[in-house]
Amino acid sequence: MFTGIVTEVGRVRAVRDTNRDRRFEIASGFDLAGVDIGASNSHAGVCLTVVEKGADWFAVEVSGETLAVTTLGDWHEGRRVNLERAATVGDELGGHIVSGHVDGIGEVVGVEEEGGSHRVRIRVPKPLHRFIAPKGSITVEGVSLTVNEVEDDVFGVNLIPHTWDVTTLGELKPGSRVNLEIDMLARYLARWRETA
C-alpha cells in the first residue's frame, strides 16, 4: 500500500526486453541498503517488485499485461519517474490509500497557469469516469490529488507549485498519457451499489 506522496523522482537508466516482459533499471537516491530484494515500490503509480539492486539503482521486471494497461510501455532511457516506497505501519498518511494498481490511462487535455498553481484537465476512459467525483481523491502518475471538477469524462486537478516542481507532473502537456488509480473507496462503493 502507498499514500500517493512521492518521495523521490528517479530516472530510467536501462531498458531491456526479456521474452514478453521488460526489465527497467531505475537510478535512485533511495537508501538502497534499506530496500530488500522483493520489496514493492510505486513507479508512476504502478506497484513493482525490486528484483536486483546496486549502490544507486534498482531493477524491476514488468509483465506484458502491465505494459499493455499502463504507460510503462512508453518508458525509455532517461525518463523521469515518480517513486514512493511502500507505506509501513505508523507512517503518516498524507495522501490517501493507494494500491499501486492502475485502473486506466488518462490523456491530458489542458494545462493552464492559475495564480501560482497549474490547472490540469485529464480525459478518462469510459466507464472509469463514473468513479471520479469533485473533492474526491485520485492518483495521477502515483501522486495523490484532489479532484476539483468533473465534466462528463474530463476531470480537473489543481497542482500547487511544490507538487509541480518536485514530481514529474510539471512535465505534463496536452496529449501526455498518465497512469490513473481511482479512489479505492469509490471503487468498492460502486461495486456494492451494483450488487445491492
Give the CATH number of the domain where residue 146 resides: 2.40.30.20
pLDDT above 80 for 39 = yes
- Domain match, 127 and 183 both: yes
- Domain match, 128 and 63 both: no
Confidence (pTM)? 0.92
- Domain match, 75 and 114 both: no
Instruction: Share the mean pLDDT of the chain.
Output: 92
- Domain match, 132 and 189 both: yes
- Domain match, 189 and 131 both: yes
- Domain match, 125 and 70 both: no
Compute the C-alpha angle 66/41/131, nearest 5°.
Answer: 60
Give 38's DSSP letter. T
- Give the domain extent around 180: 104-195
Look up residue 66 and give its three cell numbers: 502491465
Could you tell me if residue 2 is inside a domain?
no
Give 131's DSSP letter. G
pLDDT digit string (tens) for 49-107?
A: 999 999 999 999 999 999 999 999 999 999 999 999 987 766 666 778 888 999 999 99
Could you tell me if residue 98 is inside a domain?
no
Give pLDDT, residue 108.
Answer: 98
User: For the chain, how many structural domains are there in total?
Assistant: 2
Q: How confident is the model at residue 19 (pLDDT cuts 50, 70, 90)?
A: confident
Give pLDDT, residue 196.
Answer: 66
Look up residue 104 and give its three cell numbers: 486506466
Given CA atoms 187, 188, 192, 195 in this order, what sign does their dihedral have?
positive
What is the H or E stretch that residue 26 is in? strand 21-27
| 55 against 185, higher pLDDT | 55
Look up residue 121 and give its three cell numbers: 484537465
Give pLDDT, residue 191.
Answer: 67
- Domain match, 124 and 187 both: yes
| 183 against 109, higher pLDDT | 109
